[in-house]
Amino acid sequence: MDAQLVGVLVISVLLLVLYRRHTKLSIAYVRGPKADSFLFGHLRLLANSPIGQVHYKWQDEFGSVIRYKGFLGKDMLMISDLKALQYILNTAAYKFDRPEAVRQALLTQDGPDLVWSEGEQHKRQRKVMLPAFGGPEAKALYPVFKSKVEHLKTIWKDIISGTDKGTSATINVNQWLSRATLDAIGQAAFDYELGMLDNGENELGKLYQNFSLDTAPSGKIIADAVLDYLPGPVLKFIFETLPFRTFIRLREHRTVTRKVAKQLIDIKGQELLEGRGNRDVFSLLIKANGSEQSKSRLTDEELYAEMSVIFIAGHETTSNSLTWNLYELAKRPVMQRRIREEIREREAVIRARGDTEFSLTDIESLAFFQAFLKETLRMHPVVFALIRRAVKDIVLPLAQPIMDVSGKTRSELVVPKGTDISVPVGCYHRDKTVWGEDADTFNPERWMKGDAVKAASPMGVISNLMNFGSGTRSCIGWRFAMTEMQCFLVELINTFEFGLPAKDMVFHKVGSIVVVPVLASEAGKGAQMPLTISIADRD
């Protein structure tokens, strides 16, 4: 009887899928690659390939709008067209939600936070949180970032001096940057000393060891596609109960960060009552929350969740972006020397005016340094793709007309309700209609041409780059992240010279949310970026 019941349920689901598929609008007119499997479509290909490899190939063959296959032959879209993205992320952001399986994962990991929420709940949460993430607030945290990178520099100098020759050392910069940025987020966001640089074995340190690959491995794209067919209560039971490593790690993250959050809310609340509020993000958030009308305030559960997501989003994306910057510097010694010379020329100006240290304004004046940073962000977005689902039938405008399967040219795209849309940030960053014919080439000089790139596209929150998303759902902490990255890079480039331990080293990008580097020959060791560091000469 049980087997018969299972059979009936399976057949019922398949009939429901077929019914829904044949009674709604179709996107079968959109061109795309042929799938080898009806069951998994292109999902296994995407899961088993380095991030970007398949996407760029499809972009070259089919352009900026691609139809590909998901679970049970489901038609899905991959879109990097400028106008379409503008509509999806900016104009009509609340008409495109995250798939339910993705949202349940976020809820299990953090709770009802800003990334998980939709519609009016998202608007309310963002309104309360914005005062803690403004430009002045980010700049005020510059000394915190400076202190953490100084600590990192001391450790790296000690490692170099401890080698046999005392001149250079090969280290996994990704691991060290992860520790340093976690320390920075603890201090800047919560006025909380984590001590990761001195001891990576504490509770939070252990929590974040290989966290991205454990909770969002490449195969997650397949699991999400299968789980997304299940109703909400079943999804909640699976994520909250089943003893699989991914689910365990998600639940562990929420438990550990919530414990810290509860302690901090009590401490920060008392400080504010006594008039001793600090300038860390969490203090500002609690202050802003207290000034809201009761119906608009964040609940305790939401406050815990916001803290949780700030921890994860505030260090992993930053540390991996910094990692790719150092990698590009190591590959390009001429550019590395040019940036270092630019930094030291500015040092002379700083000394001449009677100061001893860089300010954020000084760093922002370094033209080639800024160009290099932006070009690395363009070529290496650590969140490679966003996923959205149309909540109703929608007509998308297109910047570039597409040719459909019949050879007809279309200037807009009819998207049925329920269609999943992958927004590959990496493909948008290499769209030749936006960035020019050399879009696939690492070329910081493109940023030295005034407003040439800026005029080409109105996407993103900084210089048309979508590393922080775009529109009303863009990353609320982007100013915070940019301040931290600039501070870290200037100090590290000024102090150290970076090189590749071997010229034939090949790195792959893996992961399904935050993209991390793995050494192709040692993929089983997880995220790593071994680079050679030595003390930079001062002529």
- What are the structure tokens assigned to 290, written together? 């207290």
How crowded is residue 514: how many other Cβ atoms within 10 Å of its Cβ? 21
Residue 510 host element (H or E):
strand 507-510
Distances (CA, A) of 458 to 83, 92, 303, 321, 424: 9, 15, 33, 22, 17
Residues 169/532, Cβ–Cβ less than 8 Å:
yes
Locate 171 and state its tokens.
């280290």
Structure tokens at 297: 């305030």
CB atoms within 10 A of CB 176: 22
Place of tokens 């504010």: 272
Residues 6+ apart with CB under 8 A from 273: none
Write the DSSP string, 322-350. Answer: HHHHHHHHHH-HHHHHHHHHHHHHHHHHH
Q: Is 520 helix (H, G, I), strand (E, B) or coil?
A: helix
* Residues whose CB falls within 8 Å of the CB of residue 393, separated by 6 or more in sequence, listed in order: 25, 414, 415, 416, 417
The C-alpha angle 381, 426, 421, rounded to 5 degrees, equals 115
DSSP of 48-91, one letter per residue?
A: HS-TTHHHHHHHHHH-SEEEEE-GGG-EEEEE--HHHHIIIIII
CA distances from 319 to 64, 173, 330, 408, 430 (A): 30, 9, 16, 46, 23
Q: Is 386 helix (H, G, I), strand (E, B) or coil?
A: strand
Q: Is 487 annotated as a binding residue?
A: no
Dihedral sign computed on CA atoms, order 371, 372, 375, 377: negative
Residue ranges for the known binding site for heme are 475
What residue numbers does the annotated binding site cover? 475
